[in-house]
Amino acid sequence: MANECYELKCSDLGTQCDYVAQGHTKDEMMERAVRHDAEVHNHKGGYSDEEMVAINAAVIHNQDC
């Protein structure tokens, strides 16, 4: 599973942004997504339980990174 990949598309969370966070682990992908959210969308602070449910539902897990 060397090419295992997790992916989160910003647009799947209701934005008109074409950024896609990818990582070989879910943690790696989330670090990139959180950094993007803070830098580009000016989101500061944590995420609500409701937001985390939406984020987790939007994560794509595949074998081709």
How many structural domains comprise the chain?
1
pLDDT in tens, 8-64: 999 999 999 999 999 999 999 999 999 999 999 999 889 999 999 999 999 999 877
Q: Which has the closest alpha carbon to 62: 33, 28, 23?
A: 23
Please state, in angstroms and as integers, the Cα–Cα distance from residue 21 to each residue in 12, 50, following that order.
12, 20
Domain interval for residue 32: 5-62
Question: pTM of the full predicted structure?
Answer: 0.86
Residue 59 in tokens: 């994560």
Separation CA 54–CA 43 (nearest Å): 16
pLDDT at 41: 95
